[in-house]
Structure 1
Amino acid sequence: MAHYRASESKREQFRRYLEKAGVLDSLTNVLIALYEENEKPNNALDFLKQHLGVSGPEAADVEALRVELAELRQKYELVLEENKELKAKLLHYEPPQEDGNAE
Structure 2
Amino acid sequence: MAHYRAPDSKREQFRRYLEKAGVVDSLTSVLVSLYEKPERPPNALEFVKQNLGAVGEISDDTDALQQEVADLRQRCARLAEENTDLKARLQLYEPASEE
Q: Which consecutive residues of structure 2, in runs of 5 or more, have no partner in the other structure?
A: 55-99
- The equivalent of 1:80 in structure 2 is none
- The equivalent of 2:44 in structure 1 is 44
* Number of residue pairs the alignment of both structures matches: 52
Q: Which is higher, the Rg of structure 1 or of structure 2?
A: 1
RMSD (CA atoms): 1.2
Deviations 1:37-91 (A, max 9, x none): 001000000000000128xxxxxxxxxxxxxxxxxxxxxxxxxxxxxxxxxxxxx
- The equivalent of 2:20 in structure 1 is 20
1:1-103 to structure 2, matched below 5 A, reads 1-2=3-4, 5-53=5-53
- Structure 1 ranges of 4+ moved more than 2 A: none
Secondary structure of 1:31's partner? helix
Instruction: Please report how far the alpha carbon of residue 7 of structure 1 lies from its aligned counterpart in structure 2 after TM superposition.
Output: 0.4
Instruction: Please report how far the alpha carbon of residue 34 of structure 1 lies from its aligned counterpart in structure 2 after TM superposition.
Output: 0.3
Secondary structure of 1:18's partner? helix
What is the rounded CA distance, in whole Å, between the counterparts of 1:50 and 1:39 in structure 2? 17
What is the rounded CA distance, in whole Å, between the counterparts of 2:33 and 2:26 in structure 1? 11
Deviations 1:1-44 (A, max 9, x none): 21xx1000000000000000000000000000000000100000
